């Protein structure tokens, strides 16, 4: 059985409900924090692997904000 090559996303865009203050940017590492006009915040950047992604999602949970979406971007 031949395994297909794994496509590794270049990064992720995580959207949460509400506008996060700039001081949360450092807590999320190298992700870029952008407050959107629809009242959400986008966290965008390179995530090294699935373990790092799960760590970021845990931070979102611990912050107590509603997770809207997680999108792999290339």
Written as tens digits, the pLDDT of the chain (74 aa) is 566 556 666 799 999 999 999 888 889 987 999 999 999 999 999 998 889 999 999 999 999 999 999 999 97
Q: Delimit the domains of the chain by residue range.
A: 11-73
pTM score above 0.85? no
- Cβ-in-10-Å burial (0-12, 13-18, 19+) of 55 comes to middle
CA distance 46 to 65: 21
Structure tokens at 13: 């865009």
Contact assessment for residue 48 and residue 8, using Cβ atoms and an 8 Å cutoff: no
Residue 23: the pLDDT is: 87
pLDDT of residue 43: 96
Check residue 48 and give its pLDDT: 86
pLDDT at residue 26 in the model = 87
Neighbours of 31 (CB within 10 A): 21
State how beta strands 32-35 and 40-45 pair.
Answer: antiparallel
- What CATH number does domain 11-73 carry, 3.50.50.60, 3.30.2350.10, 3.40.50.300, 3.30.70.260? 3.30.70.260
């Amino acid at each position: 059985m031949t395994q297909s090559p794994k496509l590794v996303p270049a990064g992720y865009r995580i959207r949460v409900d509400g506008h996060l203050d700039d001081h949360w940017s450092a807590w999320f590492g190298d992700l870029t924090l952008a407050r959107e006009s629809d009242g959400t915040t986008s966290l965008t950047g390179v995530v090294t692997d699935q373990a790092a992604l799960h760590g970021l999602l845990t931070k979102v949970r611990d912050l107590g904000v509603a997770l809207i979406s997680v999108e792999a971007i290339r």
